[in-house]
Structure 1
Amino acid sequence: MALPEASVQLYTLAEEFSADMSGSLDKLAAMGLRNVEAFDFVRRPGEIRTALDGAGLASPTGHAPLLSDELWTPDGSIPTPAPEVVFEAAAKVGLTTVIDPFVAPERWFTADGVADIAERLNALVETAAGFGLAVGYHNHAQEFVKSFDGQTAFERFVSLTDPRVQIELDLYWALVGGQDAAALTAALGDRLVAVHVKDGIAPAVNPFGPDAGEFGSASLDQRRPGGGDVPLAAALQAASAVQYAVIEYDNAPGDVFDDIAASLAFLRDGGFVR
């Protein structure tokens, strides 16, 4: 297969991006990046598109809530606009795929809940296509807490979704969910369009499980690639159709731009991106 392109999820540098959108993007472009993955773009698509164009960057993928009334993040919630509003903004920014980044844990704990998530996303495939877009889903670790008839909730979800629904696998969160990331990337085949590349030490308890306590991203022990437990090289080598290797830190261990540069060096030096 053709090697994927490198990208970076802008949530990684949310604080810096909010303070200086153009300056932050210019720093990423100076590293040689050509792509980013937008977040929170629906309320400011014109501003983001202008800044991307100014830096010579594209955002082929982006995160926006499609399946929840409110998008929960470890650091606060974002209200959910109508899908058509999301797709209109995504087209303006220049996205090709809108990825839902988080569905509340309890919705993954029953077979009916998993079926409902899949049905809701399937129903948006044609609507998105009308805007020239595809839809996708990005995992955390709650999708691996429960199993049904020998399938994890995540595997059940993939089997129930339209083949046009794209999957973005977060390799760190797959590890936290107790998964073999390399086996999972191989099994997903051409459904797997993007991966989130990040390393770290998995918490002792799945923070999205039913018995977990309060959770915030600041509690995560995330590290530069090669410094943690995630089998990044094996997972990337096992993937057969990934288009984007997306750098992300939920909790950057040091200077965020230095950490992004280290991740990019890992991808380039390992021959994992073109």
Structure 2
Amino acid sequence: MGLKGKEYRELLEPMTEELVGMARWARVTGARIVVIFEGRDTAGKGGAIRAVRDRLNPRQCRTVALSKPSEDEQSQWYFQRYAAHLPHAGEIVLFDRSWYNRAGVERVMGYCSEEQAEAFLEQAPIFEKQLTDDGIFLFKYWLTTDQDEQEERLRERLDDPLKRWKLSPVDLAARDKYDAYTDAREAMLRATHTDNAPWTLVDFNDQKRGRLTLIRDLLDRLPDQHVEPPEIDFPDFDGELSAESFSVIEPIADYSAD
């Protein structure tokens, strides 16, 4: 049975406070944090990212969701456009998909050659070791979903006008390639699951429970993040309080047909 909304919010609230504390720790210590969210279409990456960043300062915690590369970017070193978005001191960057596009959708859908995909699998661990050797905290999460659950969510996107924009031609074409995506993922895990940058697979068939599991894991794998909030001198206001001046907009009239 899926986790109910009220129970989910009650469990999420203390973790959200910890996330705020983690962000304060990162700002004070200058820590650089990268969190990669990968998974099949509809796995729940967007919801997980929102759960992490919802109460954090958007100037400190930002999401990177790159579109397909331009012609100029296609001529660059593959990792170049991703490296441009890495965090500076005190910053948290959440990748909604990442350089691992090459190991997944690009490979399965034929957007890159097999030689390019194999070269990526050799180079990714080297690239990531450079990041972690430089002191970046790198976390890689794969959100797992069963095929029947994915089909249900795709259908929900089709039927819901507020979610229809999420349904792309690539999503539909990928429906017949579930096993191919599985094979590509397994090859990716074998090649890029390393001691300094391991993968963590999280069950997202229940998205609410998956978010809680992911956030708990993220917080537990960082160093002790306790930093007392700064003292703020907030004296009582001894001036004359005044009401804000504003104008009232009249409600829209009911223009019913005659």
Normalising by structure 1, we get a TM-score of 0.32
**Larger RCO, structure (CA 8 Å, separation 6 or more):** 2
The structure with more strand, counted as a fraction of residues: 1
The structure with more helix, counted as a fraction of residues: 2
Normalising by structure 2, we get a TM-score of 0.33
Task: Pick the structure with greater CA Rg.
Answer: 2
